[in-house]
Amino acid sequence: MTLAAHDIRWSAARRMIVDGVTLRAEPGRILGLIGPNGSGKSSLLRLLCRLRKVESGVVTLDDRDLATMARRDLAKRLAFVEQQASTEVQLSVCDVVKLGRTPHRGALASWTDADEEAVEAALERVDMSERHDQLWHTLSGGERQRVHIARALAQEPRELILDEPTNHLDIQHQLSILALLRRLGVTCVLALHDLNLASLFCDEIAVLHDGKVVASGPPPEVLTEDLIARVFGVAVSIREGASGRRHIEYLIDLPEEGTAR
């Protein structure tokens, strides 16, 4: 058992953003949330890690109501990687990853061997050990995202929640971040935009539309031509690609070359 939402609701400015969502992450697997802009993905993720309070329904972690857990205990168990979080503070890569130890340390605790090992191990897992002392500001977008993931791993979580971790990254970095998440073996819940990447890297997919889950399950069952047309309003053709995996092709009418006026 791991993270699950049971009929949760949340609204902002009198508009229902998350409207009765029920879903369950499977241990050690990747659950992808897809849906059009404004479908409630980010809000749902924030409810799952209790950055926002559910208005009704419950989020459970190992069958325990998330709302009853101490925030610090929660942070030792579950980590959250925001979309493009940045800072003006002059921090090194290692300083940022050290922040991940915050829930494990008391107000007056000194830095221990265990803390140091967790930080080094986290940097190792995201392949950033050599950048240990580099300044955060000098990193590229993909490197920053890796460091954020390392910070999350330094919390030693069993569940990792990521809000569009591939946003604004070039395709090489998108692929390498998602491949990294697959290698980690931690339970992941993440929001994604790219349907092909979701299909390629997620074990399960939940499709959000107007705050409701309209389909969920393994990618081949969920991502159908019909569903994509209905939810995203885009006509697609799904075929076997060159690698033998499913490929989603967008069918749109482009003006013929030279005919655009």
Partner 1 sequence: MSHAPIEPNWPARIAIVLAALLALVTAIALAVTIGEMKIPLSTAFQALGNGVFDLGYPVSAIQQGVIFDYRLSRALLAALCGGTLALSGAILQALLRNPLAEPYILGISAGASTGAVAVMILGFGGAVLTISGGAFIGAVVALLVVALLATGAGGSSDRVILAGVAGSQLFNAATATIVTTLANAEQARGVMFWLLGNFGGVRWPDVWVATPVALICFGVCMLHAKVLDAFAFGADAAASLGVAVTRVRIVLFATTAVMTATMVSIVGTVGFVGLVIPHAARFLVGPAHARLLPACLVIGAIFMILADILSRILVPQQILPIGVVTALFGAPAFALILYRARRAT
CB nearer to partner 1: pick between 168 and 245: 168
Q: Which of 116, 161, 153 is nearest to 23 (CA)?
A: 161
- Please give the Cα distance from 205 to 165 (Å, whole number): 16
Using the rule CB under 8 A, give the single segment among 4-12, 103-111, 166-174, 240-248 that binds partner 1: 103-111
Start-to-end Cα distance in the chain? 58
The CA dihedral of 193, 243, 30, 176, to the nearest 10 degrees, is -70
In angstroms, the CA 171 to CA 40 distance is 25
Using rule CB under 8 A, residue 25 touches partner 1: no
Query: Minimum Å distance from CB 36 to partner 1?
Result: 23
Tell me whether residue 114 or residue 179 sits nearer to partner 1 (CB atom).
114
Which residue, 3 or 248, has its beta carbon nearer to partner 1? 3
* Least distance (Å) between residue 61 CB and partner 1: 14
CB 93 to partner 1: min, Å: 13
Choose which of 113, 130, 240, 256 interacts with partner 1 (CB under 8 A): 113
Do 137 and 168 form a contact (C-beta atoms < 8 A)? no
Element (H, E) at 151: helix 141-154
Task: Say if CB 163 and CB 216 are below 8 A apart.
Answer: no
Binds partner 1 by CB under 8 A, chosen from 95, 120, 194, 210: 95
Contact window for partner 1 (CB under 8 A) among 18-26, 58-66, 94-102, 180-188: 94-102
Taking the least distance from each CB to partner 1, the nearer of 109 and 251 is: 109
Q: Note whether 223 and 199 are within 8 A (CB).
A: yes
Q: What is the DSSP letter of 110?
A: P
**Judged by CB under 8 A, does residue 140 bind partner 1?**
no
Nearer to partner 1, 160 or 236 (CB): 160
Site for partner 1 contains 135 (CB under 8 A): yes
Which residues within the stretch 33-92 sit at the binding site for partner 1 (CB under 8 A)? 46, 49, 51, 71-76, 79-80, 82, 85-91
- Binding residue (CB under 8 A) for partner 1 from 15, 63, 68, 110: 110
**C-alpha neighbours within 13 Å on the C-beta side of residue 183:** 13
Q: Beta strand 56-61 with 246-250: parallel, antiparallel or unpaired?
A: unpaired
Provide the 3-class DSSP secondary structure of residue 30. Answer: strand
User: To 10 degrees, the CA torsion angle through 40, 44, 45, 50?
Assistant: 140
Using CB under 8 A, pick the residue from 9, 24, 105, 193 that binds partner 1: 105
The residues, ordered by sequence, that sit 6+ positions from 177 with a Cβ below 8 Å of its Cβ are 142, 145, 146, 149, 165, 166, 169
155 contacts partner 1 (rule: CB under 8 A): yes
211 scored as a contact of partner 1 (CB under 8 A): no
Name the site residues for partner 1 (rule: CB under 8 A): 46, 49, 51, 71-76, 79-80, 82, 85-91, 95-96, 99-100, 102-103, 105, 107-114, 116-117, 135, 137-138, 155
